[in-house]
Structures are given as structure tokens and as C-alpha cells.
């Protein structure tokens, strides 16, 4: 029996309203991705050419990428355009998620949530840009120059797309390390001192993750592991600032 005396129908009403709102938010997010995709699809081949440029400019003159499957010339640009549409829509999708959960948050949680969400999006984009402008040129130059001279490099467009999307995702997620570190310290799950003492393990873990998420060569592994560790230090820096601010607030309260 309900303590408030509400009937089961009245108790279910808020839940139904939340589910309706959730469906509405999800539909808006899906529609935004679809609209962006439809706007980008006429340029699907140009988008693929742009993503393939780091490899194409290193191939010998007259070389080109190939398609080993009948549908690849259509599916590869289609898939890439859809992924790009999702990436572009991320801020709006997160805004919809924020609008759904915000009414249940306290004021201090709301004050932190928006900067954290904005920083997460910016860092994810920064990771993708770092992969494209820094990692890809170094990585593809290494691959194209270390093979036997009598082997012609003719990369399949679908295999290349899968390869670069994996790296985009790996570097995008890796660049979220400062946010993850900051949230762990902020929530009290760990402390700055504890994380600082574990630096040797963190370095090892970065290289292990780099080994698992990138091709089996030391260059790509290092290009992921080193930024991960530096971003970890950035997270510690923000954690120290939060700790100092808390200590100052506590001193003011005691005074």
C-alpha cells in the first residue's frame, strides 16, 4: 500500500511521462543524425577522399586505392558519411541527454555537468584531429617505406576505412582521460596522492592500451601511449586544483 495513498495508476503516470520524454529525446537525436547525413551524403566521395589523403599522398605516382568487393565503392563512403554525421551530431545528442537528466540534478551538479560535457566533446574531437594530422602521416609513411621494393601498395578502400575509424575512436577515447581522472578525484573514488604514486603502473597501462588499440608497431603504440600519459597528468593537475579549492572553502567555513 502506498504511503502517499496514490493509486497504482497515479504512481505509474510519472514513469510513463519520463518514458515518453525519453522517446522524444531519442527521436530528436536520431533525426538530427539523419538530417546531417542527408546533407553530407552528396559529398560522400569527397569526404572519403579527404580521409584517405594521408595515405594517398604517400603512395607512388600513379598508384591508387582499390575495391576488392563489388559494393565497396558505395558502402565505404556511405559508412564513413554516417560516422561523420554521428560525430557532428554529438553535441546535440548530448544536449538531449542533458535536457532529460538535468531536472533531477542538484544545482552544484548542474554547474559541473555542462563544462564536463563540453570538455568531453572538445577532447574527443581533439583526439580525432590529432590522429588525422599527426598520427596518420607518420604511421602511413612508416608503413609505405618499410615494405619490400617490389611490392606495390594498393590498399582496399573498405579495409582502410575500418583501420582509420578504429584509430579515430581509439584516440578520441584516449583524449577523455583528463575527464575520467578528474571525475574519479571529484567523486572521492581516489585521491591525487594515490594516483601520483601509481605513475609507473599508469605508464605501463598506457603502453598496454596502445598495443591493444593500435596496429602492432612501436610508432603507433607510442603515439597513443605518450599522449595518454600526458593527458593523465593534465587530469591530475585539475584534480589538485579542485582539492585546493575545497581546502580553501573548508578554511573559510571554519573561519
> 66: which strand partners?
156
Please list, in sequence order, all residues whose beta carbon lies within 8 angstroms of the beta carbon of residue 160, skipping any fewer than 6 positions away. 52, 55, 65
Question: pLDDT tens digits for the chain (255 residues)?
Answer: 444 555 555 555 567 777 888 888 899 999 999 999 999 999 999 999 999 998 888 877 777 888 888 888 899 999 999 999 999 999 888 888 877 777 766 676 677 777 888 888 899 999 999 999 988 888 888 777 776 777 777 788 999 999 899 889 888 888 888 888 887 777 777 778 888 888 888 888 888 887 877 766 677 778 888 888 888 888 888 778 777 766 666 666 665
Using N-to-C axis directions, what is the helix angle for 44-56 and 136-146, rounded to 10°?
A: 60
Helix H or strand E segment including 158: helix 157-174
Question: Which residue in 172, 180, 197 sits closest to 235, CA to CA?
Answer: 180
Please list, in sequence order, all residues whose beta carbon lies within 8 angstroms of the beta carbon of residue 212, skipping any fewer than 6 positions away. none
Amino acid at each position: 500500500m502506498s504511503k502517499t495513498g496514490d493509486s497504482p495508476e497515479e504512481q505509474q503516470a510519472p514513469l510513463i511521462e519520463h518514458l515518453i520524454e525519453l522517446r522524444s529525446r531519442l527521436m530528436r537525436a536520431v533525426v538530427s543524425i539523419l538530417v546531417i547525413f542527408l546533407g553530407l551524403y552528396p559529398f560522400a566521395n569527397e569526404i572519403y577522399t579527404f580521409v584517405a589523403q594521408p595515405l594517398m599522398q604517400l603512395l607512388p605516382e600513379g598508384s591508387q586505392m582499390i575495391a576488392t568487393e563489388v559494393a565497396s565503392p558505395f558502402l565505404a563512403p556511405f559508412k564513413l558519411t554516417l560516422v561523420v554525421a554521428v560525430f557532428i551530431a554529438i553535441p546535440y545528442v548530448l544536449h538531449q541527454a542533458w535536457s532529460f537528466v538535468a531536472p533531477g540534478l542538484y544545482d552544484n551538479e548542474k554547474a559541473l555537468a555542462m563544462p564536463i560535457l563540453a570538455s568531453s566533446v572538445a577532447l574527443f574531437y581533439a583526439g580525432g584531429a590529432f590522429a588525422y594530422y599527426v598520427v596518420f602521416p607518420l604511421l602511413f609513411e612508416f608503413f609505405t617505406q618499410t615494405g619490400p621494393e617490389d611490392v606495390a601498395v594498393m590498399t582496399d578502400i573498405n579495409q582502410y576505412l575500418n583501420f582509420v575509424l578504429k584509430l579515430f575512436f581509439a584516440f578520441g577515447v584516449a583524449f577523455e582521460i583528463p575527464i575520467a581522472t578528474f571525475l574519479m578525484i571529484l567523486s572521492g573514488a581516489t585521491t591525487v596522492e594515490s594516483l601520483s604514486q601509481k605513475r609507473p603502473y599508469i605508464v605501463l597501462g598506457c603502453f598496454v592500451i596502445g598495443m591493444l588499440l593500435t596496429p602492432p608497431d612501436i610508432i603507433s603504440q607510442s603515439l597513443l601511449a605518450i599522449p595518454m600519459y600526458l593527458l593523465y597528468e593534465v587530469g591530475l593537475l585539475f584534480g589538485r586544483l579542485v582539492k585546493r579549492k575545497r581546502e580553501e572553502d573548508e578554511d573559510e567555513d571554519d573561519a
